[in-house]
Structure 1
């Protein structure tokens, strides 16, 4: 009898454990299925949004445009930058200026990364560094500035040139010099473009060389962190190409794109630089647009180098940052400016705009009532800063 009671008690405990496991599995299954439904809802929502076509827009806010000098506009974070040779201002909504700073620059160039802004006087020696609270540092360079860039934590890189020599310097956000390198134009070439990584440690430079009437490009990769501490001049690797590569940029902290006249090359640089892919188009690139996910090119159709006739004026080709062709499309719109986000491609001229999704669908087409100066995408979907000859407006598609 005692043995039977013990056996019954063990069976009872076993059944209880199994019931608890079944309950746990049921709860996990519920979580699993809820997760699947949530992911599906996001994907379906994204597809629906991608398929939407808008006919008009609403004005969220508007102010009169009173600028009587040449002013440049740029989105930084959730706000709008306005800068000229006389100064810079930042506003998080159009009616209220968060900060402004006056200066005098003959040729102001602004670069942003994250919440940092650097403005340099090209051909002179002055650089100002800002974040969303205002000016945080300033730099007076030893040589005339050729170009500058800024990283996400405010590190500023500068290329300078004088008397046949190039100088590369890195500065902290408060203006302290961190690195200084001198190179010879006769040895390295003339710097066409350069790019700084998000972490402020890696630098890629496109150097132009001309010898006996032929041009070539030397792309040089530097690392100013611990990885490059023991390398000569912090150089991690070089790649040589025939022709000109006038633009180079970091797509993320370790992926670099270099653009030639008829081709583009992708590299990875976790330590030493490595080639990812090289794409040759066989015809001249007319325009380039880049987002965090995609690289896009526009070509003219029906030129001497076109492989076949097309009824459309232009051909668009979009690639992933791994170098894979993602989308191709012909179009006729006569644009003056092309830009992009991770969701869309924006083309506009002084009176019209067209917005495409990356599936090639026309999302929005519009003819404005007055001359358009800028159409800048905000960080919120379907919202833009529209700058015309008389007003600056926040708009939302509808």
Structure 2
């Protein structure tokens, strides 16, 4: 027995009883902690399942935009809104569909590229170029040879693939339209250019060439550097790889100095820097119908060629290391594939559907009006759908 003094009299406490009470209290705390952990795990699991299997049943028209639309009209997500452009000009819509700026020009067969605060519009097979910043400030200039392809870096450096009389040219211009680099490439030495991609800092360019040697065909991936590494080479070429019996139609820079090259039967992933290395190859055993790439992922629609296939198409997504992220089979006819933030959009003449990276179809609808164009916007679950007579900013509900 232990004894304590309190206000002039003695209080006697049984030590064994004290220990048992403390043990009971500790067990209650332990059960509480375990219960709390289980509750948090249930909440997390419910959140994951809610994301994986959430289905939207309604779509709200946020705003209807009346514009004179031409066949050349295109749009894409930019910042927290949408860029819309055509042969006649370009304008920017914010996330609510309000026009923030509008610029006019005359550029036939416009093609666009954007990075950071800059947007470039160039005439496919023409000579005209318009360079804009995020405030709509525009500069226009022209080049000597027809434009095959265009890319832009975050500081406004423009890379052009030009078609000349005796060969093709790779040219770089800064935001002040000053020519920085001009490299001549010929079919006999390099091959026919198929696609180009410019790194976000404007220092590196990758080009896909198609090389024809009699009846033999191969693709060549060439890596150029316009910094100190490339200056040591006379033609800025710092690396190259040949791939037999395939056509590489698309090359893209991804984040982390990664490059992906899409052939007709494979995806090839590269790590760039002072040296170029091939990281991974993913064999594609189905016909590739469409490709979309962003900084983190590459999405494709493949044709299910086998007779046993229940659906006509398969949508697949890979990350920048070549790891499979998502697969989903479907049969709806489509004309456009869009890759967003952990979602892909498939749009046809009348059909519209949204898939998440769990392979779950979050929304699908067949519209009564014919869809001529679809683009993502700067807000989640909002899409800009263009019809033949107007534009609707839509939101999933």
SS at match of 1:228: helix
Matched residues in 2 for 1:334 and 1:225: separation?
46
- Residue 145 of structure 1 deviates from its aligned partner by 1.5
Partner Cα separation in structure 2 for residue 42 and residue 107 of structure 1: 49
2:139 to 137, 140, 143: 137
Q: Retained in 1: the 8 A contact 2:205–2:223?
A: yes
- Structure 1 238/357 Cα, relative in aligned 2: closer, same or farther at 3 Å? same
Q: Does 1:173 align with 2:175?
A: yes
TM-score (norm 2): 0.83
Distance 1:112 1:315 in 2: 29
How far, CA to CA, are the matches of 1:235 and 1:187 in structure 2?
A: 13
How big is the shift at 1:39? 12
1:262 matched to 2:265? The reply is yes
1:296 aligns with 2:299: yes
Could you say which residue in structure 2 is the equivalent of 1:9? Answer: none
Q: Count the aligned residue pairs.
A: 359
Gaps (5+ residues) in structure 1? Answer: 1-36
Q: Does 2:323 correspond to 1:361?
A: no
**3-state SS in 2 of match to 1:48:** helix
Three-state SS of the structure 2 residue aligned to 1:85 is: coil
The superposition leaves residues 177-221 of structure 1 with CA deviations (integer Å, 9 ceiling, x where unpaired) of 122222222101111110001111110000111111221111100
Which residue is 1:387 aligned to? 386
Question: Of the candidates 203, 206, 209, which is equivalent to residue 205 of structure 2?
Answer: 203
Kept after mapping to 2: 8 A contact 1:293/1:342: no
Shift of 1:95: 6.3
The counterpart of 2:188, out of the listed 186, 193, 196, is 186
Q: Relative to structure 2, which stretch is displaced further, 113-122 or 69-78?
A: 69-78
CA distance in 1, matches of 2:176, 2:303: 45
Q: Name 2:17's counterpart in structure 1.
A: none
Question: Which residue does the alignment assign to 1:319?
Answer: 318
Deviates more, 1:372-381 or 1:259-268: 372-381
Matches within 5 A, 1:333-344: 333-344=332-343
CA contact under 8 A between 2:76 and 2:377: conserved in structure 1?
no
Moved more, 205-214 or 136-145: 136-145
**Counterpart position of 1:108:** 110
Cα shift at 1:41: 7.8
* In structure 1, distance between residues paired with 2:207 and 2:87: 27
Q: CA distance change for structure 1 residues 380 and 89 in 2, over 3 Å: closer, same or farther?
A: closer
- Cα deviation for residue 112 of structure 1 reads 1.5
Counterpart position of 2:285: 282
Greater Cα shift, 317-326 or 197-206: 317-326
> C-alpha root-mean-square deviation of aligned residues, in Å?
2.5
Is 1:98 paired with 2:97? no
2:369 is paired with a residue whose SS is coil
Q: Deviations over 1:16-70 (max 9, x none)?
A: xxxxxxxxxxxxxxxxxxxxx9999889656533431100111222222432554
Post-superposition CA distance 1:155-193 (Å, at most 9, x none): 110111212322111111121112222222210111111
How far apart in 1 are the matches of 2:189 and 2:136?
40
Say which is worse superposed, 324-333 or 126-135, in terms of deviation: 324-333
Q: Residues 327 and 171 (structure 1 numbering): CA distance in 2 closer, same or farther, change over 3 Å?
A: same
Cα deviation digits, residues 295-327 of structure 1 (max 9, x gap): 2222222x3xx4x72121122332221011223
Separation in structure 1 between the aligned mates of residue 120 and residue 64 of structure 2, nearest angstrom = 27
Note if contact 1:199-1:253 (Cα within 8 Å) is conserved in structure 2. no
Contact 2:124 2:147 survives alignment (8 Å): yes
Separation of aligned partners in 2, 1:225 and 1:342 = 32
Do structure 1's residue 118 and structure 2's residue 120 form an aligned pair?
Answer: yes
Alpha-carbon displacement from aligned partner over 1:240-281 (angstroms, at most 9, x marks no partner): 011211111112251111111111101010222110111222
Query: 2:346 corresponds to which residue?
Result: 347
Q: Which moved more, 1:68-77 or 1:204-213?
A: 68-77
User: For 2:42 and 2:138, how far apart are their aligned partners in 1?
Assistant: 45
**What is the 5 A alignment of 1:32-47?**
45=47
Q: How far apart are residue 117 of structure 1 and its match?
A: 0.8
SS at 1:143's partner residue?
coil
